[in-house]
Amino acid sequence: MESFLYYLLRVSVLMVLFYGLYRLFFVHYTFHAANRFSLLWMQLMISVLPLFRYNFLPKQEPNAENDFSSVDFASLSDMPLVNDQSFFAIPWAEILFALFVAGFLFTVVRYLIGLVQIVSIIRTSEKQTLEDHTVLCVTDKPVSPFSWMRYVVITRAELSESHEAIIRHEKAHIQLHHSFDMILFDFFTAVFWFNPFSWLLRREMQSLHEYQADEQVLHQGIDTKQYQILLIRKSAGEFKFALANNFRQRDLHKRIKMMKKNKTHRQMRWIYTMVLPALFLGMTVLSAPKLNAKATEAPKDATLPVDSGKVHIQIMGTSLKDTPLVIVDGKKVTTEVFNELKPDEIESIDVLKNKHAIELYGEEGRDGVLIIKTKKNAVDGDAPEVILTDTARGDVKVMIDALNENPPLRLRHSSGNQPIIIVDGKKMTKDFKLTTIDSKEIESVTVLKDNKGVELYGEDGKEGVIIITKKK
């Protein structure tokens, strides 16, 4: 669901871009066939490009020098433990999706009603097959002359008048297969009904259809002035169908202006190469982090049985693909073991999420970490351990924030040895706890990893060195 909503957002961005391209570069030229192809191509690109992900924008990486990082304690993030009885989240994704479906169904029903009306008029009219296999349908209903697929519909009153130009105009729509364009754009606007630019693109295609039909009629020898007078005389009146190609269309002044316009020189066809930089620009825009983001799955919950029912524990702000990592008294356990714990055995439950969980527990912590301390452990004084794995990136700010926010915890490397902690140039003892330092007193924290720690502190620095400098 969220992935589809991201897709709609990405499509909307491209729609603005390509509609602007068409209005800026193509709309003023008389290359009607090329413009028609451009609109169809834009419709395809708008629909397909957002299905893929692009990385044309440079990624912002944290500054690193000599394989160590230096950070300060500007702020600490919260890691809440949320009870479902006191927390309510508005399901925005579900609400937006429901609105989309409602609008889509309304638009489809509206089009189906129009289609049924067209079919009804064609079925009840008098039919005559013309030489080019076009079917002329004569009706008594007060409708504007229109064409749909291979049918030309005209009223009996207009048939008795000079109707040659009208029939030629509608036959031009049929010969140029304009009905197929309208089917595509009707489906396009049904899916993207919420975006006004989808309707604007559809209107541009309708205008192109009229330009092409007018051009073909004039090429068949119809007098231009008489044809324009006919358009003006027939410009108002009967009912029109949005799904069909009507003889009396809006923007009549634009059609007349286009008839009088001199043909654009063929050398100007180079302007259509602008679609290439527009295509690259569109993929670059889609590379923006907020548009290139992946939808996160809804977090899964871990439950703990208690006498009065079940305590609901939810890790907020994480993308849980499976189940969170559970640490009980410093040891990894399965969720089954966790659910077997009795409420009176538990001293506290701490939650790690996002960066905090990954930095301290590597990929195992990607789905969140529940750190359980039992009452037996509290009596024995053996604090739970945070294991620094080799896959962890080593962001010490996140690490120490987690330690300070989830006491009591002990820091240990995955090999079993504890890294050296240096405070203001002094080496701390192995039982030193980072939680004894007030974060407001810290100026910066520097981490030495791999060979850097060994070069400065010998074998003691093999497991890493954390250098803390306090404010003067």
CA torsion sign for 394, 398, 404, 409 is negative
Residue 357 has pLDDT above 80, yes or no: no
pLDDT tens string 280-293: 898 888 888 777 76
Q: How confident is residue 242, by pLDDT bands cut at 50, 70 and 90?
A: low
**Among 158-162, 250-254, 264-268, 402-406, the least confident range:** 402-406
Rounded Cα distance, 196 and 43, in Å = 14
| pLDDT of 74 | 36
As given in the structure block, the two tokens for residue 293 are 């983001």
| pLDDT of 394 | 42
Find, among 25, 44, 45, the residue nearest to 35 by Cα.
25
> Contact, 368 vs 323, CB < 8 A?
no
Residue type, 103: G
- Residue 39 φ/ψ, nearest 5 degrees: -65, -40
pLDDT tens string 432-461: 777 677 766 777 777 676 677 777 777 777
**Among 27-36, 93-102, 263-272, 329-338, the least confident range:** 329-338
| pLDDT of 120 | 93
Q: Is 112 exposed, middle or buried (0-12, 13-18, 19+ CB in 10 A)?
A: exposed
Quick one: average pLDDT of 11-28?
A: 92
Which has the higher per-residue pLDDT, 41 or 340?
41
CA torsion sign for 232, 234, 238, 240 is negative
pLDDT tens string 85-114: 444 567 888 999 999 999 999 999 999 999
Residue that is written with structure tokens 């009176």 in the block: 344
Find, among 314, 317, 304, the residue nearest to 86 by Cα.
314
Q: Determine the length of the chain.
A: 472
Rounded Cα distance, 437 and 423, in Å = 10
Cis check: omega of the bond before 299, within 30 degrees of 0: no
Q: What is the largest CA-CA distance in the chain?
A: 107
As given in the structure block, the two tokens for residue 248 are 């009396």
Q: How many CB atoms lie within 10 A of CB 45?
A: 18
Residue 193 has pLDDT above 70, yes or no: yes
- Residue 300 φ/ψ, nearest 5 degrees: -90, 160
Quick one: average pLDDT of 130-156?
A: 88
| pLDDT of 116 | 93
Residue type, 319: S
pLDDT tens string 393-408: 344 555 555 555 554 4
- For the entire predicted model, the pTM comes to 0.58
| pLDDT of 405 | 54
| pLDDT of 37 | 94
Which has the higher per-residue pLDDT, 88 or 152?
152
First to last CA, the chain: 53
Residue type, 202: R
Which has the higher per-residue pLDDT, 46 or 382?
46
Q: What is the mean pLDDT of the chain?
A: 75
Which residues are registered as beta bridge partners of 332? 327
CA torsion sign for 264, 269, 272, 277 is negative
Q: Which range, 54-58, 73-77, 195-199, is most confident? A: 195-199
